[in-house]
């Protein structure tokens, strides 16, 4: 149900961006608040609704860049509230207990991405510089993992605190090192400063 509603909502958002476009950031924020309030009352999960809507707009329409541009300026306050609420649910003694498993998960995740990206780049015929560094660009992790851990904690309350603490530990470790690796990957692969092709430029939002 949540995924179906999110798909429909994504179609409406894409239609608005294509036909109207002005005040898109404000419209999307209001839509998110309405979706959160109504969703809980009718048994829908707002996180899944929003996730499905975003995936549809980004991958099945031409309005993905316009959507990103519309919400980019207002994203920081939302992130601050989200991370504050998530941090308030974490118990430090539980986080200390999952430190070793979190470190192991970080290593396994990194190794999987590095190996998988090399195989994928080889199959795709990518340049050696891209093949060597592409995996490092996949290491950063934050918002979606925390959102899904919150959903998991609500769905399985008996495992919620431990799962949330483990996820936060993995994200924290990744966020300490992954951005540095990501920047290094962009520089070493030659992607930093490369001009976007015309087709990849953000779609303009129509003037009111």
Tens digits of per-residue pLDDT, 162-205? 777 777 778 777 777 777 888 888 787 776 665 555 544 445 55
| Main-chain phi, psi angles of 100, to 5 degrees | -65, -50
How much is the average pLDDT of 137-162? 73
**Long-range own/partner contacts, residues 37-43 (CB < 8 A, 24 or more apart):** 39/2, 39/5, 43/1
More confident residue, 206 or 138: 138
Query: DSSP letter at 158?
Result: T
Which pLDDT score is estimated for 56?
A: 85
More confident residue, 118 or 40: 118
100: confidence class by pLDDT, cuts 50, 70, 90 = confident
pLDDT at 127 over 60: yes
Mean pLDDT of 90-114: 80
The separation between the first and the last C-alpha atoms of the chain, rounded to the nearest angstrom, is: 34
Mean pLDDT of the chain: 76
As a whole-number percent, the residues of the chain with pLDDT over 70 amount to 81
More confident residue, 112 or 93: 112
Q: Are 162 and 99 in contact (CB under 8 A)?
A: no
b/e map 135-153, b = 16+ CB within 10 Å: bbbbbebbeeebbebbeeb
For residues 141 and 177, which has the higher predicted lDDT (pLDDT)?
177
The answer, yes or no, to whether residue 14 has pLDDT greater than 80, is yes
Confidence of residue 90 (pLDDT cuts 50, 70, 90): low
Contacts of 57 (CB under 8 A, 6+ apart): 10, 13, 14, 17, 63, 64, 67
Out of 56-60, 76-80, 106-110, 114-118, pick the least confident: 76-80
Q: What is the pTM assigned to this prediction? A: 0.56
Lowest mean pLDDT among 9-13, 66-70, 197-201: 197-201
Place of tokens 């207990």: 97
Q: What is the pLDDT of residue 201?
A: 47
User: Given this model, what pLDDT does residue 200 score?
Assistant: 46
* pLDDT score at 208: 47
Does residue 94 have a pLDDT over 70?
Answer: no
Please state the rounded mean pLDDT for residues 140-165.
72
Give the residue extent of every domain in the chain. Answer: 1-73, 75-193
């Amino acid at each position: 149900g949540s995924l179906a509603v999110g798909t429909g909502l994504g179609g409406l958002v894409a239609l608005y961006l294509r036909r109207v476009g002005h005040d898109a950031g404000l419209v999307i924020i209001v839509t998110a608040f309405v979706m959160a309030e109504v969703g809980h009352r009718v048994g829908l999960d707002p996180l899944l609704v929003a996730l499905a809507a975003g995936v549809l707009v980004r991958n099945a329409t031409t309005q993905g860049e316009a959507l990103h541009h519309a919400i980019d300026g207002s994203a920081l306050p939302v992130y601050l509230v989200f991370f504050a609420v998530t941090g308030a649910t974490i118990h430090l003694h539980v986080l200390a207990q999952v430190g070793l498993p979190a470190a192991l998960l970080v290593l396994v995740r990194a190794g999987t991405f590095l190996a998988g990206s090399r195989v994928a780049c080889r199959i795709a015929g990518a340049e050696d510089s891209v093949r060597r560094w592409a995996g490092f660009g996949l290491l950063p992790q934050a918002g979606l993992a925390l959102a899904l851990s919150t959903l998991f904690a609500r769905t399985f309350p008996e495992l919620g605190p431990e799962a949330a603490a483990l996820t936060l530990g993995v994200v924290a470790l990744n966020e300490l090192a992954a951005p540095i690796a990501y920047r290094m990957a962009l520089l070493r692969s030659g992607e930093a400063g490369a001009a976007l092709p015309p087709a990849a430029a953000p779609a303009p939002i129509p003037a009111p």
